């Protein structure tokens, strides 16, 4: 920085009198929805093992809060074995981030054309299979949902050469072409059943007797199919789902009908029993009298990704790559507050808000994982860097020579003290 610039700064500091203050101290998510621009940062790629990634979720077990799992439709390009796979990003979004690619040796069945992943509150996770028959039988319909433990000493480690069927914890096979999943609690999950065009609830109860991994005993499984709730799958696309744990409302991307629906997971009753396909289970039922409704039916083309963060609903649109954010504080009056442009049409498949409030999403065709971050504090000209130009913009604001657009206030509060003042200017100087 030149001597002239320093002299100008000292001169203007002496002229500084009063700076208006506001409540600018925000989480990353708050900054994202109020920022004049955002930063799309690549955080994972094909070299990490990503290959047609279709979904992502953070491990919700209490000791693994910054552990992001991405599920691939198939194995990595460097892995010649067939079957779905996962890439775990540890310390996601930090300088110490590292990855772990894994594929169970029996994933050709249990993750055949894997389409969605969801973590439950007990350290387990489940995935759906976007395939008619998980054994590759063209006339079969043996497909549905697989259950796993996230314990890395077990997942894709035990029974890899037999005698049991890999490390899977359980599986039920009543939903071919399932393309979305949401965890309720423990071993209960909700599925987007693309074959029956409806929503189903899977309760694995006690996965394989005595927590056996790789077994074939599915006899205590319960499946409830909500046939009154009609949805439409789009071939090759996921239709993700999420449960608002505070209200017990399930939100579903009904991709084929260009809408978002909402369902009360505590509603409905058994109408009649169904005959399970290919396996003996404790119960398989058609339900009726469930409470459900369409909550968004405009402004969407191919909604695929969905998540809830506080009082906000996020939906990603595969067709144009937009991430639309709605305020859902008033449950019967959703208000669209922002559309984040990724400029990635026909690619964005799943989204998730991280523990720090940043937004993550996977691109299924370009094999990438992105993190959306708010602008750098002090980046007032939007070039994703802190330079002398940013310093002069803030200085001009402080001396009332040129006022900042109010949208930039949170970025100008570089020291996060809820005020724009000389200390923010000093912070920028220290950054240069």
The pLDDT of residue 20 = 32
pLDDT for residue 12 is more than 80: no
- Non-local (6+) Cβ contacts of 11 within 8 A are none
CB neighbours of residue 161 within 10 Å:
6
Average pLDDT, the chain: 91
What is the Cα–Cα distance from 30 to 241, expressed in whole angstroms?
A: 23
- Can you give the pLDDT at residue 208? 64
Peptide bond into 108 cis (omega under 30): no
Predicted TM-score of the model (pTM): 0.90
Question: For the segment 16-67, what is each residue's pLDDT rounded down to a tens digit?
Answer: 323 333 333 358 999 899 888 899 999 999 999 999 999 999 998 877 779 9
pLDDT digits (tens, 9 = 90+) for 346-392: 999 999 999 999 999 999 999 999 999 999 889 998 888 899 999 99
Exposure of 383 in the CB half-sphere (CA atoms within 13 A): 7
The domains of the chain, with CATH numbers, are: 3-25+383-431 (no CATH), 39-373 (2.120.10.30)
**pLDDT tens digit string along 168-217?**
999 999 999 999 999 999 999 999 999 999 999 999 998 865 557 998 88
Say whether pLDDT at 9 is over 50: no
- Which comes out higher in pLDDT, residue 166 or 5? 166
What pLDDT, on a 0 to 100 scale, did the predictor assign at position 62? 74
Render pLDDT for 206-262 as a digit per residue (tens, 0 to 9).
Answer: 886 555 799 888 899 999 999 999 999 999 999 999 999 999 999 999 999 999 999
- Write the DSSP string, 121-155: TTSEEEEEE-SS-TT--TT---B-EEEEE--TTTT
Rounded mean pLDDT, 387-411: 89
Give me the pLDDT at residue 336, please.
97
Cα distance from N-terminal residue to C-terminal residue, the chain:
8
pLDDT tens column, 64-102: 779 999 999 999 999 999 999 999 999 999 999 999 999
């Amino acid at each position: 920085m030149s001597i002239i610039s320093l002299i100008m700064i000292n001169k203007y500091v002496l002229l500084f009198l009063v700076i208006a203050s506001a409540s600018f101290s925000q989480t990353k998510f708050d900054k994202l929805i109020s920022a004049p621009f955002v930063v799309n940062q690549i955080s994972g790629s094909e070299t990490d093992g990503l290959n047609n990634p279709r979904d992502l979720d953070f491990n919700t077990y209490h000791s693994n809060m910054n552990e992001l799992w991405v599920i691939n439709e198939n194995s990595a390009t460097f892995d010649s074995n067939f079957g779905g796979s996962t890439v775990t990003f540890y310390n996601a979004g930090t300088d110490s981030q590292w990855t772990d690619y894994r594929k169970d040796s029996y994933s050709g069945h249990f993750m055949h054309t894997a389409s969605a992943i969801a973590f439950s509150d007990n350290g387990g996770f489940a995935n759906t299979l976007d395939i008619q028959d998980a054994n590759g039988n063209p006339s079969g319909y043996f497909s549905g949902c697989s259950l796993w433990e996230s314990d890395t000493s077990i997942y894709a480690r035990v029974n890899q050469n037999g005698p049991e069927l890999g490390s899977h914890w359980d599986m039920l096979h009543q939903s071919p072409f399932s393309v979305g999943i949401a965890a309720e609690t423990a071993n209960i999950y909700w599925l987007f059943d693309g074959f029956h065009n409806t929503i189903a609830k899977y309760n694995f109860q006690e996965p394989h007797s005595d927590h056996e991994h790789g077994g074939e005993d599915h006899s205590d499984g319960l499946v409830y199919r909500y046939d009154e709730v009609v949805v439409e799958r789009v071939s090759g696309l996921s239709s993700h789902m999420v449960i608002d744990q505070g209200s017990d409302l399930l939100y579903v991307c009904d991709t084929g009908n260009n809408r978002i629906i909402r369902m009360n997971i505590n509603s409905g009753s058994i109408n009649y029993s169904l005959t399970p396909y290919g396996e003996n289970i404790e119960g398989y039922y058609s339900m009726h009298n469930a409470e459900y409704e369409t909550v968004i039916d405009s402004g969407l083309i191919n909604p695929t990704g969905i998540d809830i963060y506080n009082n906000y609903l996020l939906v990603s649109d595969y067709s144009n790559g937009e991430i639309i954010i709605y305020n859902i504080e008033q449950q019967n009056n959703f208000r669209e507050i922002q559309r984040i442009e990724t400029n990635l049409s026909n690619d964005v498949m799943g989204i998730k808000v991280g523990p720090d409030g940043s937004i993550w999403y996977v691109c299924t065709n370009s094999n990438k994982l992105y993190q959306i971050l708010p602008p750098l504090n002090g980046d007032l000209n939007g070039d994703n860097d802190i330079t002398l130009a940013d310093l002069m913009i803030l200085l001009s604001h402080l001396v009332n020579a040129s006022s900042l657009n109010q949208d930039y206030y949170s970025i100008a509060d570089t020291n996060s003290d809820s005020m724009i003042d000389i200390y923010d200017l000093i912070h920028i100087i220290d950054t240069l």
